[in-house]
Every structure is written in C-alpha cells, then in structure tokens.
Amino acid sequence: MSDVKTGTGSATIQKSESEWHDELTPMQYAVLRQKATERPFSGEYDHSFEPGIYVCAGCGQTLFESDAKFDSGCGWPAFSAPASNEAIAEERDISHGMVRTEVLCARCNGHLGHVFDDGPGPNGLRYCINSAALKHRPGSN
Ligand SMILES: [Zn+2]
C-alpha cells in the first residue's frame, strides 16, 4: 500500500470533493474545503452575539459556544476557546508568507480559520473563524 494519509488521517468524516461540493453552499465549500477566507466584516456571524452554540457547517459538530465569542474588531467571528479541545485540530500554516496556526474541524477536516495568541481571555487565544464555516444553533447558554 502506498496510500499515505497526511493531515486528513484523523478525520472521521471523509467525503469526496464532489460530495462536499454538492452539500455545501459555494461560500461554505470555498472556506471549508479550499481554505478560502471570507472578506472581513462580510460574514453573517461577525457581529452576532446571540446565545447558543456554533456547529461546523460541514458536519454539524459543536465547535464553539457563544459564551466564548467576543468582538475582536478584526472582521471575523472571534472566540477565546473552542467548545472542547477534541472538536478542533490545529496545523502549522506557512502560506501567504506568514507563519500561522490553522484551525480545522477535527471531525471532517474542514478549514475554519486561524488561531492567534493575542486574545483577551485568560488563555490569551483568539480563534478567528470564518462565518461560512459555522452554523449558529440558538440556545440559552
Ligand atoms: Zn466538521
């Protein structure tokens, strides 16, 4: 077997690109599967602070809770922590001439955004996430 898996090996949901293409909106597909970044201040959740949870637009897994969301002013939804450490995967990203940490959904390996270490919370983290990668589910938390 010469089938070497890199990066996607731990994802439990694996679909072909054409399956993802059919299931997702063009914007969701561009972000989750092609690692695109939506334009700043354009996303549906940038300035939404409704209580509830944010699930992966690709597979429905809970990724973030509204309690952890804050207004970073950067133009994308920002969170101080994921709902659980198991929900997300992180990978070093050296594209665009920068060294950043990419944030992925651990379940479907969809690209979510990046995490930076300039956050205001106790752990100092700022998860900068594309709205298109998220779906808000209203709740009372
Ligand atoms: Zn997912």
CATH number at residue 46: 2.170.150.20
- Give, in degrees to the nearest 5, the angle at Cα 76 between 23 and 140: 75
Inside any domain, residue 27: no
- Is-catalytic flag, 108? no
Inside any domain, residue 32: no
Inside any domain, residue 115: yes
Using CB atoms within 10 A of its CB, is residue 12 exposed (0-12), middle (13-18) or buried (19+)? exposed
Inside any domain, residue 58: yes
| 84 vs 106: CA distance, rounded Å | 11
Inside any domain, residue 23: no
Closest alpha carbon to 118 in 86, 70, 85: 70
Inside any domain, residue 3: no
Helices (H), 7-141: 17-23, 26-32
Domain that holds residue 82: 39-138
Catalytic choice (56, 59, 105, 128): 128
CA of 50 to the centre of ligand 1 (A): 21
Torsion sign over Cα 17, 138, 127, 4: negative
Torsion sign over Cα 79, 67, 46, 111: positive
Which residues, at least 6 apart from 49, have a Cβ–Cβ distance to it below 8 Å? 66, 69, 71
Q: How many separate domains does the chain show? A: 1
What is the structure's pLDDT at 121? 85
CA of 110 to the centre of ligand 1 (A): 6
Inside any domain, residue 11: no
Inside any domain, residue 76: yes
What are the pLDDT tens digits along the chain (141 aa)?
444 444 445 678 989 999 999 999 999 999 999 999 999 999 999 989 999 999 999 999 999 999 999 999 999 999 999 999 999 999 999 999 999 999 999 999 999 999 999 998 889 999 999 999 999 999 865
CA of 55 to the centre of ligand 1 (A): 8
